[in-house]
Amino acid sequence: MRSLKKLWTDNRGIEGLPIRLVIALVVGVASLAIMTSILGGLPTFESTEVTTEYTNNDGVASISDGDSIKVEVSSDDGETLENGRIIISSGTADLDNGPVTKEVSASGKEFTVGGEGASGKDLQVDLRSDQNKGTLKVEVKPPSDGSYVDDQDNPTILITE
């Protein structure tokens, strides 16, 4: 019973801790709470997804030999993107001169399509003999000076004979 009486009369702090340590602990926890509430109010650094949009004479992403297609890059909130790079590569259609990489401006980038070995054409597409249509994959490399990413797949370009 003597040790129990000694515990109640001990004034060193919480269960034997020195009072200075208890004060430092309380001040530290209070400071941490204030800092986390301040940091919680800062804006987050979220990324903006970019996607491609295609326009041609028909207004769709379907083109054939001799046609041209305009590729535009925009963010998910409709803002057009400048200084990115568009990479067009083979999908179910073979791209003889691919992958093709071009710089994109705010007005987009126009590509012309030609058959196999067509000189002067941006996209030299070759469909197999048993194929009357195929696709090309499009990837966007966003500029490094923003918070843009291209994580989701972009719509493909449909090539028809």
Task: For residue 17, count CB atoms less than 10 angstroms from its CB and return exposed for 0-12, middle for 13-18, buried for 19 or more.
Answer: exposed
Predicted structure pTM score: 0.64
Token pair belonging to 84: 């990115």
pLDDT for the residue numbered 30: 94
| Residue-level pLDDT, tens digit, the chain, 161 residues | 555 556 556 565 566 667 888 889 999 999 999 888 887 776 666 778 888 887 765 545 677 777 888 888 888 777 888 778 888 888 888 888 878 888 888 778 888 887 666 666 778 888 888 888 888 888 988 877 778 888 888 888 888 87
**Distance from C-alpha of 129 to C-alpha of 116, rounded to nearest angstrom:** 12
Q: Would you call 145 helix, strand, or coil by DSSP?
A: coil
**What is the full DSSP assignment across 112-127?**
EEE-TT-TT-SEEEE-
- The 10 Å Cβ neighbour count of residue 140 is 21
The continuous run of DSSP H or E covering 159 comes out as strand 157-160
CA separation for the pair 103, 82 (Å, rounded): 9
